[in-house]
Amino acid sequence: MTHDFISLKADDKSGTFDGYLAMPPSGTGPGLVLIQEIFGVNHTMREVANSYAQKGYVVLVPDLFWRQQPNIELGYTPDEWQKAFGFYKAMNELKGIEDIQTSITTLRTHPAVKGKVGVLGFCMGGKLAYLTACRTDVDVAVGYYGVGIESALDEAKNITCRLVLHIAHLDQFCPPEAQQKIQQALGEKNSFEVYVYPDVAHAFARPGGDHFDKAAAELSQIRSIAAIKAEIGPF
């Protein structure tokens, strides 16, 4: 497996931004855009990218905070949390989706990508994965504990791909009423899967995190990989 940073040109011609590209051992495979948490393309995101590359995917993690400050890489101390929330609150969501579409297009035209392209997002990236399903040509979308999905449920009618959402039952950023709205709007659609994990909190799938739950993380990954593989391979 190899990995490196590449440069991407923004669709609005406002500049360029970096993306972490992890290649599978075979050198080719389906494409997967990994959408960051609020901490930037940090060690955690790169490790997730590497793990999916090992499973056969060409994985690209775009820097979605570049319009504020390029190459943000934060940890999880209280001060870094505050900085991360600042970047998150100031982010232009519309531009973020544009940059994700740029990343999808980059993978579709990359010589190593054979087949289709999916997205996988965590936290902030969980909602962006949902919006990517609503607004782009992606082939499958998986979102973990997305924040604010309930405010964009009217866009679900535009989704034409398979969608998988993982919700933490004790997520302070997605309270019970929000979870109920998401389940009611999406839970009964044939191409949508909404899973709620009891007794776990936000970021339950982040290894080493305060709320990491091994059982929920493993089950959610099994479901994620099953959906992604069914839609885009590798076959």
CA-to-CA distance for 23 and 21, rounded, in angstroms?
A: 7
Distances (CA, A) of 165 to 52, 159, 208: 18, 13, 22
Return the residue matching tokens 């490196």. Answer: 4
Return the residue matching tokens 């009964």. Answer: 188
Is 40 buried (19+), middle (13-18) or exposed (0-12) by CB count in 10 A?
buried
CA 178 to chain centre: 20
Active-site residue, selected from the candidate residues 154, 202, 210, 213: 202
Tokens representing residue 98 in the block: 């544009």
- Cα-atom radius of gyration of the chain, to the nearest Å? 16
**Bridge partners, residue 195, by sequence:** 166
Say if residues 65 and 84 touch (Cβ distance below 8 Å). no
Among candidate residues 137, 146, 102, 97, the one with its CA nearest the CA of residue 117: 137
Among candidate residues 101, 178, 181, the one with its CA nearest the CA of residue 134: 101
171 is catalytic: yes
Active-site residue, selected from the candidate residues 171, 199, 210, 213: 171
CA-to-CA distance for 83 and 211, rounded, in angstroms?
A: 20
Q: Would you name the residues annotated as active-site residues?
A: 171, 202
